[in-house]
Amino acid sequence: MTHLVDKGGFPVFLRRFGEGPEPAVLMHCALAHSKAWGRLAQLLSDRLTMVAPDMPGHGRSAAWDNRCDIHDQVTAIAKDCLGDGAHLIGHSFGATVALRVAMEEPDRVRSVTLIEPVLFAAARNSEPAALKTYIVEEAGFSTALQTEDWDTAAQEFTRVWGDGRAWDSLSEKERAAFANQMHFIRDTEAILLHDSAGLLKPDGLENITCPTCLIRGSETNPIIPAIHAALAARIPKATDAVIQGAGHMVPITHPEAVAARIDALLAGYHLQRSVRCAI
């Protein structure tokens, strides 16, 4: 029987990795689960003690019951996992949650790693042409979501944001599971496309004071570099790292390269901390 714990007022399954001296919280992407962090977490296990929740409706956590805005709920879960303070690592939708937590809880976030955050709204003012192109190219996906054609939506979603496997190569069980989670994806459009949570409000991102690393694959969707550029321009201590040959699923396909970037970020955090202590 799966043991669930209350985090942010929702019953979630927590997976733990590592025995390092620093605590960290890992927030996975949509349609995945906490086990997806396994290879990357192993590479960081001597540096970090990590907790990774399954998001509502994902992995072993309870089914999502639409009790509130989904981004609000996942953010509450992440904040509850922080404890007195921790490093944050997020991927895709999970990275937008990590971004929000770092902005709203700057005193409790030691560093934040944002791997391809899909906050499409960030490109609206900085690179509107890139956002318009993305919206036009993904019109079929958006229509499928709105008409609740879940199978088509899942096929289109995995084509753009999946791990490169063709839809026909997936098992019937995998295709059905992805289709069943498309309502979750539809419910994220308010935050991701329209910034309903106000992540882009004036002086918001500037409130993130911890070392920050944005990580993206060189072969990812063109909207991602536009998002990264917009965020990096406003987050005071942000760097933007590109992993050559990688796509959107870079923490899974290229864990060694991602781990190296996180190691460098952790080193920067400790340097910053030592300087503060010396003053």
Q: State pLDDT tens for residues 32-42.
A: 999 999 999 99
Residue 179 falls inside a structural domain = no
CATH number at residue 213: 3.40.50.1820
The structure tokens listed for 45 are 């296990």
Q: Taking the CB of residue 237, how many other CB atoms lie within 10 A of it?
A: 16
Greatest Cα-to-Cα distance within the chain, rounded to the nearest angstrom? 60
| Within a domain: 153 | no
The residue among 122 and 273 whose pLDDT is bigger is: 122
Within a domain: 130? no
pLDDT digits over 201-254, tens only?
999 999 999 999 999 999 999 999 999 999 999 999 999 999 999 999 999 999
Please state the rounded mean pLDDT for residues 88-108: 98
pLDDT at 272: 62
- Give the Cα separation of 269 and 67 in Å (integer): 37
Distance CA 186, CA 66 (A): 12
Residue 273's pLDDT is what?
59
Give the pLDDT band (50/70/90) at residue 1: low
State which residues form the domain around 27: 5-122+196-278
**Residue pLDDT, tens place only, 143-158:** 999 999 999 999 999 9
Per the domain annotation, does 173 fall within a domain?
A: no
Q: What is the 3-state secondary structure (H, E, C) of 234-277?
A: CCCCEEEEEECCCCCCHHHHCHHHHHHHHHHHHHHHHHHHHHHH
58 phi/psi in degrees, rounded to 5: -125, 150
Find out whether 93 and 73 touch, Cβ atoms under 8 Å. Answer: no
Cβ atoms within 10 Å of 139's Cβ, excluding its own: 11
Assigned domain for 202 exists: yes
28 lies in some domain:
yes
Is residue 175 in some structural domain? Answer: no
**Any domain includes 30:** yes
Domain count, the chain: 1
Backbone angles phi, psi at 266, to 5 degrees: -65, -40
**What are the CA-CA distances from residue 105 to residues 7, 87, 114, 176, 248 (Å)?**
16, 12, 16, 37, 27
Could you tell me if 217 and 116 are in contact, meaning their C-beta atoms sit under 8 angstroms apart? Answer: yes
